[in-house]
Structure formats: C-alpha cells, structure tokens
C-alpha cells in the first residue's frame, strides 16, 4: 500500500486533487501542442517503423537553413497512456531559437511491452540520424516514464544499429530509473513485467562507464519538490550512479513544482529547463 502511494504521482501535488491534476496536465500539454502546430513548420506522423505507434512529430526551427540541433522529447504516462500527439508543447520557445523538437511515439501497454518500447525509442533515434542529415547534435528530454526511456537510450550499444547518434545531452525529468519497485504496484497490471524484464530495462542496472563520447554528453537529472520521496530517491541514486561511472551529470531539485507542471512549464520562455534547451545552439 505504501509503495502504491509512492508511485502515484497525482497523490503528491498540493495544487489539485488526483483526478483533477491529471485532467489539468492533459489539457495543458494538449493546448501547448496545438499552439506549437499552429506556429511551427511541422512534419507530423513521420513513420520510423511499421508499427502504429512508431511515428515522430517534428517541429522544425524557424530558419531551418543549414544545420540545427534537435531536442528529442519522449513522453511519460507510465508506459500506458499519453502519446506524441500532445508532446509538442515545448516546441515554441525552442524552434524560435533554432532548435528542432522531435516528439517520439511508441507502442504503449498493453500493446507495447517494456523491451519493445526501449527498442523503439532507440530505433527512432537511429532513424532521425539517417534521415535528417542537417541535424547536428541530439539532446534527449524525457518526462516520468519518458525519462526512463531516455535513460535507457544512454546505455545503448549503437554498433548494433550501424549509426552513432551524436547525443550531446539529456534532460531527465521526474523519472523512474529502477523498475523493480514498479513490479509491486498497480502500474505493472498493464505492463505485466517479470523481474527479469524489469532488471534488464532498469537504467540503474545498465549504467555504462563513460566512454569519451559519453563524457561530452551532459546529463541533467531534474526532480520536483512535490515529487514523492521514492521519485526523489530514484533521481538522486541514478544521478550518483552516473557520476560514479564518469558521466558529466547535474541533479536539479526544482522548488515549487510537482510531477506535472515541472514539465508543462517547458512551454514558457522564462522556465529554467526551457533555458537549458535554448542554450543548445550556443553549446554546439
């Protein structure tokens, strides 16, 4: 019961009740995505594979002549809800600064299972690199379950894919990095993970020693003041594990936000995580 509480992010927000906070989150991200689609040059539903979920929404920079960095956004929803279709809300402030934003779709549970989702997100990056030669430098951004998937991308052996994406940085927001506790909660009802699957897909257990390319990759692990103690513990322990393995990592503990508005605010020009994104062109 205690574990169920800890892994129910909607119970920890001081702003709104459990159902209301989720409805507000859906409304905020959907409205932000509508604004982005109205204002940016887009390629929507670009297939990177054959499955229904294997599609990308790409928001191009205002002036896409020459090369540009790309922020690849992986949505949350506990691997079983949400989609790329309301994941473009971060685009407006970034495309105006010359950064492309790519929202990744993947097959959520129960259709998708954990091994397949991790594989899909990795393949989506390989596709981007092969298809869009003007992208220079990829930055990963994932929220909640999406932060887990982005963290799994960091442990990818790219030799299997025949490409080496130039991943310059990762912003992992309110993520889950050890799936073992999830096995004992309602979240696993749809996922149906075994212990082996959970271990194989836990970023905490897949941290690779930082090779030269990885040391150039800046990882920012962000967690909300009003995330549950378990979510906060996971962020602290994962960032420490990366640091121990030689990665360049910062832990950002954001005051005054919860599990939901910590990511919704990416639609705001003045938000600290947006400013991290806006610094990408100059960091290149």
Residue 48 contacts residue 102 (beta carbons within 8 Å) = no
Neighbouring C-beta atoms of residue 244, cutoff 10 Å: 11
User: Is pLDDT larger for residue 62 or for residue 103?
Assistant: 103
Token code pair at residue 254: 């954001």
Identify the pLDDT of residue 240. Answer: 97
The model's pLDDT over 124-175, given as tens digits with 9 standing for 90+, comes to: 999 999 999 999 999 999 999 999 999 999 999 999 999 989 999 999 999 9
What average pLDDT does the segment 108-121 reach?
97
Q: Is residue 63 over pLDDT 50?
A: yes
**Taking the mean position of all CA atoms in its chain, how far away is CA 12?**
21
| Residue that has been written with the tokens 């692990």 in this structure | 221
The share of the chain scoring above pLDDT 90, in percent, equals: 81
In whole angstroms, give the CA distance from residue 232 to residue 72. Answer: 24
Strand partners, 248: 218
In whole angstroms, give the CA distance from residue 130 to residue 207. Answer: 26
Identify the pLDDT of residue 193. Answer: 98
Question: Can you say whether the dihedral through the CA atoms of 49, 218, 264, 181 is positive or negative?
Answer: positive
Q: Is residue 31 over pLDDT 90?
A: yes
DSSP 266: G
pLDDT band at 194 (very low <50, low <70, confident <90, very high): very high
Distances (CA, A) of 148 to 66, 92, 151: 32, 25, 5
The share of the chain scoring above pLDDT 70, in percent, equals: 93
Architecture per CATH, 1-267: 3-Layer(aba) Sandwich (3.40)
Q: Is residue 100 over pLDDT 90?
A: yes
Cα(first)–Cα(last) distance of the chain, in Å? 47
Q: Is residue 52 over pLDDT 90?
A: yes
pLDDT band at 216 (very low <50, low <70, confident <90, very high): confident
Identify the pLDDT of residue 284. Answer: 45
Neighbouring C-beta atoms of residue 204, cutoff 10 Å: 18
What average pLDDT does the segment 108-112 reach?
96
Q: Is residue 271 over pLDDT 60?
A: yes
Inter-axis angle of helices 145-154 and 114-131, nearest 10: 60
Strands (E) in the chain, as ranges, are 41-47, 55-60, 68-74, 100-104, 135-143, 167-173, 218-224, 248-254
Q: Is residue 77 over pLDDT 60?
A: yes
Q: Which sequence positions are flagged as catalytic?
A: 144, 227, 259
Q: Is residue 236 over pLDDT 90?
A: yes
The model's pLDDT over 246-270, given as tens digits with 9 standing for 90+, comes to: 999 999 999 999 999 999 887 776 6
Which of 127, 116, 129, 175 lies closest to 151 in space, CA to CA? 175
Domain residue ranges in the chain: 1-267
> pTM for the complete prediction?
0.95
Element (H or E) spanning 16, and its range? none
Mean residue pLDDT across the chain? 92
């Amino acid at each position: 019961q205690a574990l169920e509480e800890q892994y129910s992010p909607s119970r920890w927000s001081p702003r709104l009740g459990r159902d209301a906070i989720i409805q507000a989150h859906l409304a905020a991200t959907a409205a932000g995505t509508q604004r982005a689609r109205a204002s940016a040059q887009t390629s929507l539903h670009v297939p990177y594979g054959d499955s229904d979920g294997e599609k990308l929404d790409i928001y191009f920079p205002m002036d896409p002549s020459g090369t540009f960095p790309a922020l690849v956004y992986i949505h949350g929803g506990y691997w079983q809800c949400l989609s790329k279709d309301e994941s473009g809300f971060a685009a407006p402030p970034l495309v105006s600064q010359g950064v492309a934003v790519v929202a990744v779709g993947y097959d959520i549970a129960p259709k998708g299972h954990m091994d397949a989702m991790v594989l899909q997100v990795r393949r989506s990056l390989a596709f981007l690199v092969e298809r869009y030669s003007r992208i220079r430098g990829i930055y990963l951004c994932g929220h909640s379950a999406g932060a887990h998937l982005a963290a799994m991308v960091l442990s990818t052996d790219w030799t299997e894919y025949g490409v080496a994406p130039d991943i310059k940085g990762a912003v992992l927001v309110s993520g889950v990095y050890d799936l073992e506790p999830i096995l004992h909660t309602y979240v696993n009802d749809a996922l149906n993970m075994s212990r082996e699957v959970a271990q194989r897909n836990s970023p905490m257990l897949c941290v690779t020693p930082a090779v030269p390319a990885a040391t150039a990759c800046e990882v920012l692990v962000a967690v909300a003041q009003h995330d549950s103690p378990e979510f906060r513990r996971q962020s602290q322990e994962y960032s420490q594990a990366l640091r121990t393995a030689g990665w360049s990592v910062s832990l950002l503990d954001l005051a005054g936000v919860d599990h939901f508005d910590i990511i919704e605010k990416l639609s705001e020009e003045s938000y600290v995580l947006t400013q991290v994104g806006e610094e990408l062109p100059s960091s290149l």
